[in-house]
Structures are given as structure tokens and as C-alpha cells.
Amino acid sequence: MSHATGSEPVDNAAYGHKPFKRSRSHFADRITSDGRDGWPVEAGRYRLVVSRACPWASRALVSRRLLGLEDALSLAVADPIQDDRSWRFTLDEGGRDPVLGIAYLSEAYETREPGYPGGVSVPAIVDVPSGKLVTNDFQQITLDLATEWTALHRPGAPDLYPERLRDEIDEVMGGIYRDVNNGVYRAGFASGQEEYEAAFHDVFRRLDLVSERLKDQRYLVGDTLTEADIRLFTTLVRFDAVYHGHFKCNRSKLTENPVLWAYARDLFQTPGFGDTVDFDHIKQHYYRVHTGINPTGIVPLGPDLSRWRTPHHREQLGGRPFGDGSPPA
């Protein structure tokens, strides 16, 4: 998540002052079981770089944990506060990632493409031996973790992208991406009233449709957890903390939608979801980095997070979270 538009370097003060356009992933190589792009799946070879603030990176965190890839794919966590060189490793001793030896994620981009002028985004996967960025294709990374990394999955790992349901999963994810995952950004970074209102209506129209879908079924597609649930969850878990106020998506809070609030808590309480969430990182990033829309940099104290642990009763709808598999340890 560099919210950079086009190929401009990140400019945190510009948000809300020019139309928002999500950058395309510039590096779309894939790490596959047959290594067709030159990057074969290999335990210990790659490092996943995330920010716990970022919903796109959080998908990869959830997926990695559900599939049990922690030992095979190491993790670098960036500081939630970016500077103008973007994601940095100031949480680590000496301000450098201990495995890659770099202070800024941009250094891996530069190693891959000297003079690279574009935005620096997470999630990103870096080849440890060469120090080169392999991919920042946030839409594809988790699909490949589910389908190409199967030889390294833990015993009992769920099938997050089952072949027989892929068309339906893709369709559901498409609407959620356009109107919810990206819609909250289109609203939050809108530079004009009409642009904001169009995005606002998209967000809540889609949430109403999703709510209707989830009224009588526990998960979005089929009776088990899939990639679609991961992608909706990472936006819902941020909704009241940042999107409702900071991004002005304030028709209603998540906690005011009985179906979605119960669904979000059900996922949050499922191993692999809530245990990857860091609300402090989330709030620090959005409220302190987006100075264009929150110039004071004041970080709100709420909402009350204890409610995420309250009973949701969604198990009454049936469903088997991990299918024939088992939860992660």
C-alpha cells in the first residue's frame, strides 16, 4: 500500500487534493511451483514484506498463517509511519531489516530495476539471495500462496481457492474489490464532492448486497473460508477504526450492521484472522501519514476494541471454517 497515483513517488500531503487512482502493480512476476517466471517456490528463499496497517498486505498475513507458511516464507514488518521514501524498517534494530539488510523497501525495488521511478507498495516479496523485489502484485500474491505453494502448506491447510468455486469467488471478489476494498479509498481520497459521493454510494450499496448474501450463509462462497472472506475481512476490520471517520464512510458503522458485524467477529475470532491484526499500527498509519486529509496528525483513541471478542453466534449457520482441514496452531 503506497497510495501513490500513477508512477509518482509517495506524497503524503497530496491525498485529498487530486483525484485518487490506484496504481497498477509494476512487478507482476509470479513465484510458481514450476518456476516459469524464473522464481520457483522454495522454502526459505523469499521474504514477505508487509505493513500491518495495510489491508492489501494483511491479506497475505492471513493467508500465510492459515496455510502454515510461516517457516517457508519469512516476514519483514515495516513501520506503519512512512516518510517520503515510503516503507522503512525502523521497527528493527539499527533501522534495517535483519535478513535483507536494507533500511527502505525501495532498495529492493531499486535492485530489481535501477532508477525505478514508481510507488513503493506492500505486500511485496523479495528474493533473499539477490535482494531483488520479485512481485508487488497484491491481487495475485495470495492466490499463488494458496495454489502454487501447496507443497509447503501445513498438514490440514484449507483450500482457500477451490477450483470448482473459482468463477464464483472471482465474481464476488471483483465487486468487493471495486466497491469496498478500493471504494473506501476513492471516498477517503476524493478531491471533490461528486467524486466522494459516488464512491460513498458504491461502498454502502455493495455492503448491503454482501450483508444480504451473508444473512443465511456463514461464508461468502460455499461453506468454508475462501480467499473472498480474507479480502472482505481486511477492509471490515479497519472500518470503524479508520474508514468511518477518516475516510468519511459514515452512513453507518460496522457495529451497526448486525450481519456484517457478526460475520467480522466470527472471522476475527478464527485463528489466522484476528491474531494478525494490529489496530495500533492501523490507526497510526492512516491518521499520521495522510496529512492531506488529517493535517493535525491526531490519532483518535477509539473505538472500543473489546467488543471484537463478544459472541457472534454465526456457528448456528453451520459451515466448516477449514473444510476437511484444521485450524492453524
CB 239 within 8 A of CB 302: no
Sequence length of the chain is 329
CB 10 within 8 A of CB 189: no
User: What's the grid cell of residue 138?
Assistant: 497484491
DSSP state, 177?
Answer: I
Active site residue 54: yes
Using DSSP bridges, classify how beta strands 74-77 and 132-135 pair: parallel, antiparallel or unpaired.
unpaired
At 37, give phi and psi (nearest 5°): -95, 5
Cis peptide before 123 (omega within 30 of 0): yes
CB 79 within 8 A of CB 89: yes
Catalytic residue among 15, 46, 104, 185: 185
Catalytic residue among 15, 46, 54, 287: 54
Task: Tell me the CA end-to-end span of the chain in Å, nearest whole number.
Answer: 29
d(CA 226, CA 212): 18
Burial class of residue 120 in the structure, from the number of CB atoms within 10 Å of its CB (0-12 exposed, 13-18 middle, 19+ buried): buried
Q: Which of 182, 172, 220, 173 is nearest to 203 (CA)?
A: 182
DSSP state, 183?
Answer: H
Q: CA 322: distance to chain centroid?
A: 20
- Whose cell is 468463477? That residue is 167
Cis peptide before 40 (omega within 30 of 0): no
CB 75 within 8 A of CB 58: no
Strand, helix or coil at 305? helix
Active site residues: 54, 185
